[in-house]
Amino acid sequence: MNFVLKGDICWSHDAQHLNTIKDGFLVCEGGIVTGVFKNLPEKYAGLPVEDYSGKLIVPGLTDLHIHAPQYVFRGMKMDLELLEWLNTSAFPEEAKYQDTEYARRAYRIFVDDLRKSGTTRCCMFATLHLPATKVLMELLEESGQISYVGKVNMDRNSPDYLCEESAEASAEATVQWLAETGKAFPRTKPILTPRFIPSCSDELMERLAAIQKEYNLPVQSHLSENHGEISWVQELVPESRFYGDAYDRVGLFGGNVPTIMAHCVHSGEEETELMKKRGVYIAHCPQSNTNLMSGIAPVRTYLEKEIPMGLGSDVAGGAVLSIFRAMADAIQVSKLRAVLVDHNLKPLTMAEAFFLGTKGGGSFFGKVGSFDAGYECDALVLDEGKIPYPQELTIEERLERFIYLSGNDDILHKFVKGRRLF
Ligand code: GUN
Ligand code: FE
């Protein structure tokens, strides 16, 4: 597990600055980055050097929000808004995971593609089905990826074929799932996953809050994605001051509870302030927000307020797995927001988008997503072979074109916490 990677190394220390070292040496010891050096210090001379001279080496990417069961129907029924899309596409497809053999085939495809991608860390929704969720966790563990996986909770406003019988039944299934998987996997951990307020009764939310305390679990859900959804939450939980307050009332909104909220496209001032106060992570999912016509999240505002944030593919709201693509999408929608919505908001820079997809989201997993000393060593050696160039380019220029052009991530080698996946 001790080795040196040699190449053109690029990483974020903060949102504004990219660090680059041409022909540098990345030293990894016991799964942890010791440092990046222009010249290899004498004391590391005995370590094996993997020579990727001329290739870009960057930190692994984090996908803070994805629906694993939706991978196999990505890129279809993309002409609908959120609530209609859930009813006609997502829910019927997710119901198929009742059949564990179907789930195994579908999750195999998902996990194989995830493994080949630039993503090393992932926070994902499964479905409400316990056996299928276990299969997903087993496949992920085998792949070497590091993930949080959530068995989904939903006990209301869902079709009969994809709805738990009662709050009690949903909570009991969750406890059983935790007993079976909570300590089973070194790299694959459970995360509490109420789907969103419309599909979770007050009683279920309270039961989940009790489970969260007992098992000390992180939490993921959806927040302020779509206007219809937001007014529905106001009707369902009339005493809530805003959408996020419906999670906060039961204690599932940051603070001592590591929490990811996907989207936050239409969060108002109070909700934004509470996310900042509670350290709630925002999973910004630009492609999904475009496909489902949700809107454009005010990421510049979130960055300025220093609310923790990363990127999400939100497959199948988003059609592609690539977090490089999510970086480009995030920059593009931020430009549209600057032109169409708020001229005072500066669009995202490439360095900022790269930060969000690496260190920004990675920090949910601890010291992850950077090559600063002490970070867990997730590293990608990129393959620029399919996008050749004749001119001299800087490392920054090569990284930028890789973000925009790589399509399906073209990764030559991938390391997750110091372990080589390929
Ligand atoms: N809100 C509740 N469920 C979902 C889902 O599956 N996808 C998205 N994008 N939003 C949701
Ligand atoms: Fe989602």
Q: Is the shortest distance between the CB of 196 and ligand 1 below 6 Å?
A: yes
Residue pair 396/20 in contact (Cβ under 8 Å)? The answer is: yes
51-71: average pLDDT: 98
Return the H-helix or E-strand segment holding 382: strand 379-382
Assess whether 278 and 355 both reside in one domain. Answer: yes
Q: How many domains does the chain have?
A: 2
Domain co-membership, 30 together with 158: no
Q: Are residues 361 and 294 part of one domain?
A: yes
Q: What is the pLDDT of residues 80-113, one digit of tens each?
A: 999 999 999 999 999 999 999 999 999 999 999 9
Task: Identify the pLDDT of residue 55.
Answer: 98
For residue 223, which ligand has an atom nearest its CA?
A: 1
Which ligand is nearest to the Cα of residue 64, counting in written order?
Answer: 2
Indicate yes or no: pTM above 0.95.
Answer: yes
Residue 196 CA: nearest ligand 1 atom is 2
Binding site membership of 195 for ligand 1 (Cβ less than 6 Å): yes
pLDDT band at 322 (very low <50, low <70, confident <90, very high): very high
Q: Do 373 and 351 share a structural domain?
A: no
Instruction: Give the whole-angstrom CA distance, residue 12 versus residue 352.
Output: 9
Same domain, 55 and 69: no
The answer, yes or no, to whether any atom of ligand 1 lies below 6 A from the CB of 288, is yes
* Average pLDDT over the chain, rounded to an integer: 98
DSSP alpha helix (H) spans, 216-311? 227-236, 243-248, 269-278, 286-291, 299-304
**Looking at residue 321, what is its pLDDT?**
98
Calculate mean pLDDT across residues 16-36: 97
Interacting residues of 422 by C-beta distance below 8 A, sequence separation 6+: 115, 116, 413, 414
C-beta of 90 in contact with ligand 1 (< 6 A): yes
The ligand minimizing its distance to the Cα of 82 is 1
In this prediction, residue 69 carries a pLDDT of: 98
Do residue 35 and residue 123 come from a single domain?
no
Q: 350, 365, 380 — which closes off a domain?
A: 365
- Please tell me whether residue 149 adopts helix, strand or coil conformation: strand
- CA-70 nearest atom, ligand 1: 6
**Other Cβ atoms within 10 Å of 236 Cβ, number:** 17
For residues 412 and 309, membership in a common domain is answered with no
On whether both 36 and 68 belong to a single domain, the answer is: no
The residue whose CA is least distant from atom 9 of ligand 1 is 317
Is there a contact between 209 and 255 (Cβ–Cβ < 8 Å)? Answer: no
Best mutation site among 63, 66, 67, 128 for ligand 1 pocket (most ligand atoms within 8 Å of CB): 67
Residue ID of nearest Cα to ligand 1 atom 7: 317
- How many angstroms does the Cα of residue 134 sit away from the middle of ligand 1? 21
Measured CA to CA, the distance from residue 120 to residue 362 in angstroms comes to 9
Q: Is 225 in the pocket of ligand 1 (CB under 6 A)?
A: yes
246 lies in the same domain as 186: yes
Q: Do 18 and 133 fall within a single domain?
A: no
Q: Which domain holds residue 376?
A: 3-59+369-420
pLDDT digits (tens, 9 = 90+) for 73-89: 999 999 999 999 999 99
In this structure, what CATH number is given to the domain that contains residue 315? 3.20.20.140
Distance 315 CA to ligand 2 centre (A): 7
Residue 65 and residue 51 in one domain: no
- Residue 42 is part of a domain; what is its CATH number? 2.30.40.10
What is the number of the ligand 1 atom nearest to the C-alpha of 229?
Answer: 1
Q: Are 88 and 211 contained in the same domain?
A: yes
The reply to whether ligand 1 has any atom less than 6 angstroms from the CB of 93 is no
